[in-house]
Structure 1
Amino acid sequence: MALAYDTLKFISTIFLLLLIIPRSVTLACYTSIFAFGDSVTDVGNRMLISDDPSNLRMANPPYGETFFHHPNGRFCDGRLIIDFIAEHYGLPFMPPSASVAGNGSSIEGGVNFAVAGTNTVDSAFYEPRGIVNTYTNASLNVQMIWFKDVLPLFCATPSECRKKFKSSLFVMGPFGSNDYRHGLDFGKDIKEIRTYIPVVIDTITAAINELIKLGATTIMVPGIAPDGCLPVILTSFGSANGLDYDPNTGCLSWMNELNEFHNLRLQQRLNIIRHLNPDVVIIYADLYNAAMKLYRNLKKYGFVQSLAACCGTGGAYGYSDDVRCGDIELINSCPDPWRHIDWDGCHMSEKANKLITMTLLDGTYTSPPINTLCASPSKFTYYD
């Protein structure tokens, strides 16, 4: 009887531990997220800081129709990758930095500094080369200045900041796409565009190193997604030469090769940063291959359209610079955005964003696998 009692007591103790341990691990997960980037990550800054109506299409219907049911500054019909990451860790959607700066708001859950259309590198580098960013000069350096400006809302002293940053996730990007696409828009050839890559990588590196000095311990750095699959690129740089296209997807091969080259150089630099900072976790998020998985397996994921915009008009890809999604002449989108990878010719649909996020969070396309670093049950519903 004593042995049976001891055995029962042991089993009960193990059972209680099993109940306690997952909760303690979950509590050790990220309690705030700070994000930097361009339109892939922007949750409203461009809408808040721009006074040019031609730059405010995302403030008009049908943007936001799928999830929020109204425009909110996101270049999507619903949530972005950064939104799904926040949901996964049980955090609220991050506010855009322009909505909290100077008003005394708490940013305990983090804040988002990304601005659509921004280059990584300052305009001072591009303008002497004849490249003018007509959208914004909210470069990565500018976003870092904003970050330090609002930091007192998060922590009072450097030591307090370091303590809080231990449970913070920093998302650095993606960055680079606009640097290369704006250069192409101004007639630069691919040979010159490739010379910008080291400058872009250096700028990203400097920002990461600055975050590390401030106390950041976990930084996710996304690569560039395959821009050669975007309707805006396929329309603007289409070719009569079939060899310029990937036979399996229809994407422009030379543009995707540029993105892959950037991603390779970025990963090489991240390896150096890891070596120099062994106590800091640097996570590479492979947006390129996560997205290509969708383009190569349309039916598997329930898509019927891969290269045509849901919200747009004109041409083979449903995109035209003359009448774009959010223009008053084009109010409606397609009736089934969940069956489109592309939303507006330049950005992915909510469903595509969600599927990509799933493969990041389950560790398939993050290195090291993010699910091995922070054990937190998903807070959003997965698609079947």
Structure 2
Amino acid sequence: MALKFISTIFLLIFIIPRSKTLACYTSIFAFGDSLTDAGNRIFFSHDLSNLNVANPPYGETFFHYPNGRFCDGRIIIDFIAEHYGVAFMPPSASVAGNGSSIEGGVNFAVGGAAAVDSAFYESRGIINPFTNASLNVQMIWFKDVLPLFCDTPSECRKKFKNSLFVVGPFGSNDYRHALTFEKDIEEIRTYIPMVIDTITAAINDLIKLGATTIMVPSLSPDGCLPVILTDFGSANTSDYDPDTGCLSWLNELNEFHNQRLQKRLHIIRRLNPDVVIIYADFYNAVMKLYRNPGKYGFLHSLEACCGAGGAYRYNDDVKCGNIKLKNSCPDPWHYIDWDGNHMTEKANRLVTMTLLDGTYTSPSMNTLCASSPKFTYYD
């Protein structure tokens, strides 16, 4: 029995998606927040000593050094790139203005980014202490670096036929920053239409520029994050999902956002029948892990791997990246959560598999390319 369990864990750790034949996409362009950021937050920070993600043990599992990813290794966008044979996209801040080629795409995501511009929230007393790199701002950056990719609009449209655009996820920071400023859940729900409108505007803008395949991820279940469970914990047991221990009221907000997003994507598809709009159901792909962690070899579902203190191993005053936590997580493969806010590489890999095999994408990702990518177990 023990040998079977160890063998299962070994397979899960080394499941890596890869294409069977030629890649479907030659470039990927990504927009988003810390779930997609590949280093922009570091480039935009003036004091790295106070930026947790710039310090060990971030990056320890795969890259073996901190590189701006909010993870111990690869994130979902990395696994998508690997699957289609595309090199990891450089963060946009590393290529802008230096004449570098971006033939393989570029990543515009920034940790802490909200969908809607900061001015909207500041007028409501909500301050984003991390960045104003909203989706609108990221779209401006995208247009600024386009000359590095193509010389004319017609050339861009031709190249974009072989490009995958990933817009999101967006919305988590819009709602969670509001919670931090003690806005009640009913007021926060009124922000959802503005968030959806902002995502819609970006998608329509990309379509006008020639994008033909756009993936739009849902929100993940924020009610399962150690930071949320720690900061917004309740003595009322009815606030929690009895099966997972996650905070139900925040997950319900995420689900409401996701429902509205899907309805909007349906409209965009109808108006643009020649464009493939992929809904990536991050929410249910992640919830599958929380509902049955042992099946995937996780020994800890709601505790942070890189963290300390309390029931969920999360402390706002001593976060991952603090020198005190440098060696706090020697076994990240046993955890779903990495630092209280983001998943481990293993969890990212498992979620990506279910997206790329079509289980949690609509239309199914595995039906979109002539090469019909398959998944292979190998060490």
Q: Which TM-score bucket, shorter chain as reference?
A: over 0.9
Matches within 5 A, 1:207-222: 207-222=202-217
Partner SS for 2:255: helix
- In structure 1, distance between residues paired with 2:364 and 2:370: 11
Distance 1:125 1:52, change over 3 A: farther
Q: Report which of the two has the higher share of strand.
A: 2
Distance 1:77 1:378, change over 3 A: farther
Is residue 366–residue 372 contact of structure 2 (8 Å, CA) maintained in 1?
A: no
Is residue 88–residue 376 contact of structure 1 (8 Å, CA) maintained in 2?
A: no
Which gives a bigger RCO, structure 1 or 2 (Cα 8 Å, sep 6+)?
A: 2
> In the TM superposition, what is the alpha-carbon distance from 1:149 to its structure 2 partner?
0.3
What TM-score comes out, normalization by structure 1 length?
0.91
| Structure 1 equivalent of residue 220 of structure 2 | 225
Partner SS for 1:206: helix
| Structure 2 equivalent of residue 5 of structure 1 | none
Among candidates 40, 44, 47, match of residue 49 of structure 1: 44
Please tell me the residue identity of whatever aligns with 1:38: D
- In structure 1, distance between residues paired with 2:273 and 2:376: 35
| Structure 2 equivalent of residue 96 of structure 1 | 91
- How many positions carry a matched residue from both structures? 360
Please tell me the residue identity of whatever aligns with 2:310: G
Residue 296 in structure 1 maps to residue 291 in structure 2: yes
> In the TM superposition, what is the alpha-carbon distance from 1:328 to its structure 2 partner?
2.1
Matches within 5 A, 1:1-384: 26=22, 29-53=24-48, 56-376=51-371, 382=377
What TM-score comes out, normalization by structure 2 length?
0.93
Partner SS for 1:180: helix
- In structure 1, distance between residues paired with 2:275 and 2:182: 40
- In structure 2, distance between residues paired with 1:135 and 1:311: 21
- In structure 2, distance between residues paired with 1:52 and 1:270: 39
- In structure 2, distance between residues paired with 1:382 and 1:287: 23
- In structure 2, distance between residues paired with 1:57 and 1:371: 37
Is residue 229–residue 246 contact of structure 2 (8 Å, CA) maintained in 1?
A: yes
Structure 1: any 5+ residue segments left out of the alignment? 1-21
> In the TM superposition, what is the alpha-carbon distance from 1:331 to its structure 2 partner?
1.2
- In structure 2, distance between residues paired with 1:331 and 1:83: 24
Is residue 42–residue 73 contact of structure 1 (8 Å, CA) maintained in 2?
A: yes
- In structure 1, distance between residues paired with 2:374 and 2:104: 15
Structure number, greater radius of gyration: 1
- In structure 1, distance between residues paired with 2:183 and 2:250: 13
What percentage of residue pairs aligned between the two structures are identical?
81
| Structure 2 equivalent of residue 19 of structure 1 | none
- In structure 2, distance between residues paired with 1:225 and 1:324: 21
